[in-house]
Amino acid sequence: MAKAPPSAKRDRIKNFVPALVQYTDDVVYGDLWERPGLSKRDRSLVTVAALIATYRPEQLTSHLDRAIKNGVTREEIAEVITHLAFYAGWPSAMSAAQLAYTQLVENEQGK
């Protein structure tokens, strides 16, 4: 079983919802993300797309970093955002684009 990636936000709520955090660690990251049917890169791409489509910016933030670490490029993320504008809605895509730009471009440039 793989160890869940560190998360200050998850640690902050651990005492409040211990079972939810344990399920996140054990089931989501310990089991689901370790299944052999998809690479971690592909799982990241699917997860980023799902979070954009369902407008979950709080979760998208950490999964953008995870996607980059798992080999998804900034260009691929931009393409997913553009593609989803037509399937998940313009507002969701525009919000994701702003978040991704700030996180992946501006922060990288030190702005």
Q: Are residues 21 and 45 in the same domain?
A: no
Q: How far is CA 19 from CA 22, 24, 25, 26, 87, in A?
A: 5, 8, 10, 10, 34
Distance from C-alpha of 29 to C-alpha of 53, rounded to nearest angstrom: 21
pTM exceeds 0.85 for this model: yes
Range of the domain at 24: 1-35
From the CB of residue 107, how many other CB atoms can be counted at a distance below 10 Å?
A: 11
- 24 with 44, same domain: the answer is no
C-alpha 105/C-alpha 17 separation (Å) is 34
* Residue 24 shares a structural domain with residue 57: no
Contact of 81 with 97, CB cutoff 8 Å: yes
Q: What is the pLDDT of residues 37-94, one digit of tens each?
A: 999 999 999 999 999 999 999 999 999 999 999 999 999 999 999 999 999 999 999 9
Please check whether residues 103 and 53 belong to one and the same domain.
yes
Do 51 and 15 lie in one domain? The reply is: no
Same domain, yes or no: 76 and 54: yes
The verdict on 31 and 76 lying in the same domain is no
Q: How many domains does the chain have?
A: 2
